[in-house]
């Protein structure tokens, strides 16, 4: 399977602990995105990378959250000092970049199955 | 600011009957609109997209949607429901002046149930 893979699929942690999620995008996809989905809601944008550069961060991404994509391939999302409100599904997606940037970007994102976080 | 409203949180149909999932959007500029589907324990999958070409868009698995600018709607339809269509459906908007394709705005979702 050459789709987007996320690890771990499920994580249960106690409040105050740190957690890290990993995302492996589809190879050759330059763009990588993180979204968060809470129960009964649609996914919400958190941040995105073009290659190794983090180009945009949502205001939802507090200082306790940090995302990296050091070599422009896989990405990690770390949450420090977790709170119960962090409980959610964390979704990773990737997309190719068009020949002329956004103008030719089809807008299709390829999503992984998500990492579900439960903070007790 | 752009936003998406899915008018029904749950829709229930019988197998073989038509499906209608309703979506209204708000966008300052010409939007691009999408429908994504999420099956249990599966990643979100693109069903179809509208990007200022034909207003009637055909997608995978027999789904289609019509962009109506005057009504700011992008409803999803299918003539005959199949059991495998049971899933969560998300209407999504993006526009080039608010993050472009890099930032998709999702509706809250509509859960479709299909009964034998």
Residue numbers in A near B102 (CB within 8 A): 31, 33, 48, 55-56, 102
Residue numbers in B near A55 (CB within 8 A): 102
Which runs of E-coded beta strand occur in A14-114? 19-24, 31-37, 44-50, 53-57, 65-68, 75-79, 88-95, 110-111
Over range A21-26, report the average pLDDT. Answer: 96
Number of inter-chain CB pairs under 8 A, A vs B: 67
To the nearest whole percent, how much of chain B has pLDDT over 90? 68
Point out the residue among B45, B96, B107 whose CB comes nearest to the CB of A42: B107
What pLDDT is attached to residue A44? Answer: 94
Residue listed under structure tokens 């009637």: B56
pLDDT tier, A45 (very low <50, low <70, confident <90, very high otherwise): very high
Residue A59, φ and ψ in degrees, nearest 5: -65, -15
Count of C-beta atoms within a 10 Å radius of residue B17: 12
How wide is the angle at C-alpha B25 spanned by C-alphas A31 and A30, nearest 5°? 5
What pLDDT is attached to residue B67? Answer: 93
As a whole number of angstroms, the distance between CA A16 and CA B91 comes to: 35
As a whole number of angstroms, the distance between CA B99 and CA B107 comes to: 17
Over range B50-73, report the average pLDDT. Answer: 90
Over range A9-37, report the average pLDDT. Answer: 95
Cβ separation of A102 and B96 shorter than 8 Å?
Answer: yes
Give how far A83 is from chain B: nearest CA, Å.
Answer: 23
Of A9-13, A46-50, B94-98, the one with minimum mean pLDDT is B94-98
pLDDT by residue (tens digit) across B2-33? 889 999 999 999 999 999 999 999 877 778 89
Candidates B36, B49, B101, partner chain A, best to mutate (most A CBs within 10 A): B101
As a whole number of angstroms, the distance between CA A22 and CA B101 comes to: 23
Cβ separation of B43 and A110 shorter than 8 Å?
Answer: yes
Residue listed under structure tokens 């995008």: A25
Give how far B41 is from chain A: nearest CA, Å.
Answer: 7
What pLDDT is attached to residue B89? Answer: 98
């Amino acid at each position: 399977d050459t789709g987007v893979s996320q690890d771990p699929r499920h994580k249960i942690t106690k409040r105050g602990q740190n957690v890290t999620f990993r995302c492996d995008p589809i190879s050759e996809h330059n763009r990588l995105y993180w979204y968060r989905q809470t129960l009964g809601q649609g996914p919400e944008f958190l941040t995105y990378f073009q290659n190794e550069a983090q180009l945009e961060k949502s205001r939802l991404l507090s200082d306790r959250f940090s995302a990296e994509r050091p070599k422009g391939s896989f990405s990690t999302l770390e949450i420090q000092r977790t709170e119960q409100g962090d409980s959610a599904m964390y979704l990773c997606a990737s997309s190719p970049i068009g020949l002329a940037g956004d103008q030719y970007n089809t807008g299709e994102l390829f999503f992984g199955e998500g990492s579900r976080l439960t903070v007790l | 600011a752009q936003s998406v409203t899915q008018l029904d949180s749950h829709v229930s149909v019988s197998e073989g009957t038509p499906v209608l999932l309703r979506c209204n959007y708000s966008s300052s500029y010409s939007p691009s609109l999408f429908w994504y589907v999420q099956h249990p324990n599966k990643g979100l999958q693109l069903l179809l997209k509208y990007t200022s070409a034909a207003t009637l868009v055909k997608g995978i698995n027999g789904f289609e949607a019509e962009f109506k600018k005057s009504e700011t709607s992008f409803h999803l339809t299918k003539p005959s429901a199949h059991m495998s269509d049971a899933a969560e459906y998300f209407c999504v908007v993006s526009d080039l002046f608010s993050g472009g394709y890099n930032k998709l705005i999702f509706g809250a979702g509509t859960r479709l149930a299909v009964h034998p």
